[in-house]
């Protein structure tokens, strides 16, 4: 009789102990699941934080670029106001001194108050002709000895054009005083002209002046920031 009681007691103890182990094991699984969920949340928060930082940095770079462009435009406008010789007249003086095809004219930003006009000869040779912005006198001309085909490529882009650099400068002058004329051959070729009131495209065949789309986008962004 005592032996039966002992066996029953041991069996009960084993069942209780097994239940405890099972309960402990079950509790361990819940803890691991909770830990994994916590780790996932931490990883998600980390990813969101990294994305936010990347977006903030991109916005900062865009704002810095816009600010730099505004500063450059302001400086160019100031230089243009002090120039007594227009871009069109500087181009005419440069071509009289060095015959060829003018492909660019830029009012130097080094404080010298000089127009630098790029002229390409028929053989593709390029010359930088410096013209005083005070009196229109040619100060000198220097051949560009770079071993590239920019000159020939510019002549090819201008083949069949009806509007030259001087005419483009005159056309864009209706949109503000011109401080830079350049041949833009990215996509459909056109004259790219910068004035004190923005950047413009001048059609090579018709001379039609339209606002540069990139400049318009940047202006829209800056206007939106002011709201």
What pLDDT does 80 receive?
58
Is the pLDDT at 49 greater than 60, yes or no?
yes
Annotated domain spans of the chain: 1-82, 84-225
Across 143-163, average pLDDT: 90
Distances in whole angstroms, Cα of residue 45 to Cα of each of 35, 37, 42, 54: 15, 12, 5, 14
Confidence class for position 161, pLDDT limits 50, 70, 90: very high
% the chain with pLDDT above 70: 63
Q: Which residue has the tokens 């007249």?
A: 89
Residue 198 has pLDDT above 50, yes or no: yes
Q: Of the given ranges (94-98, 177-181, 206-210, 219-223), which has the lowest mean pLDDT? A: 219-223
Q: Does residue 18 surpass a pLDDT of 70?
A: no
What DSSP line would sit under 63-127, residue for residue? HHHHHHHHHHHHHHHHHHHH-SS-HHHHHHHHHHHS-SEEEEEEE-SSSS-EEEEEEE-TTS-EE
At 203, list the tokens.
């059609």
pLDDT greater than 60 at residue 94: yes
Residue of 45 and 183 predicted with greater confidence: 183
Q: What would you measure as the largest C-alpha separation in the chain, in angstroms?
A: 132
pLDDT reported for residue 57: 78
pLDDT of residue 46: 67
Q: Tell me the average pLDDT across 174-198.
A: 94
**In angstroms, rounded to a whole number, what is the distance separating the alpha carbons of residues 53 and 59?**
10
pLDDT of 109 strictly over 50: yes
The yes-or-no verdict on residue 67 having pLDDT over 50 is no
* Helix, strand, coil abundance in the chain, percent, nearest 5: 55, 20, 25
List the CATH code of the domain at 84-225: 3.10.450.40
Residue 164 confidence (pLDDT) above 90 = yes
pLDDT at residue 152 above 50?
yes
CA dihedral 75, 80, 82, 84 (to 10 degrees): 170
- Residue 218: helix, strand or coil by DSSP? helix
Which one is predicted more confidently, 214 or 114? 114
Question: 19-23, 112-116, 156-160: which has the minimum mean pLDDT?
Answer: 19-23
Task: Indicate the range of 59-68, 71-80, 108-117, 185-194 predicted with least confidence.
Answer: 71-80
| 6-23 mean pLDDT | 42
Burial 186-214 (b: 16+ CB within 10 A, else e): eeebbbbbbbbebbbbbbbeebebeebee
């Amino acid at each position: 009789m005592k032996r039966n009681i002992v066996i029953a007691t041991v069996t009960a103890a084993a069942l209780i102990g097994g239940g405890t182990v099972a309960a402990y094991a079950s509790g361990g699984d819940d803890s691991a699941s909770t830990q994994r969920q916590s780790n996932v949340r931490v990883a998600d928060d980390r990813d969101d934080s990294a994305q936010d930082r990347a977006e903030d940095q991109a916005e900062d770079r865009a704002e810095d670029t816009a600010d730099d462009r505004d500063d450059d435009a302001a400086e160019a406008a100031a230089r243009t106001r002090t120039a007594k010789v227009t871009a069109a007249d500087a181009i005419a003086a440069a071509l009289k001194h060095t015959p060829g095809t003018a492909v660019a004219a830029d009012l130097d930003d080094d404080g010298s108050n000089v127009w630098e006009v790029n002229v390409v000869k028929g053989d593709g040779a390029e010359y930088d002709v410096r013209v005083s912005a005070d009196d229109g006198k040619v100060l000198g001309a220097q051949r560009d000895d770079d071993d590239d085909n920019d000159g020939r490529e510019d002549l090819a882009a201008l083949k069949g054009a009806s509007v030259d650099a001087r005419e483009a400068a005159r056309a864009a002058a209706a949109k503000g005083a011109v401080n830079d004329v350049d041949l833009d051959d990215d996509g459909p070729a056109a004259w790219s002209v910068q004035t004190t009131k923005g950047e413009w495209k001048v059609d090579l065949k018709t001379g039609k002046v339209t606002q540069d789309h990139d400049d318009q986008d940047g202006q829209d962004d800056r206007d939106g920031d002011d709201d």
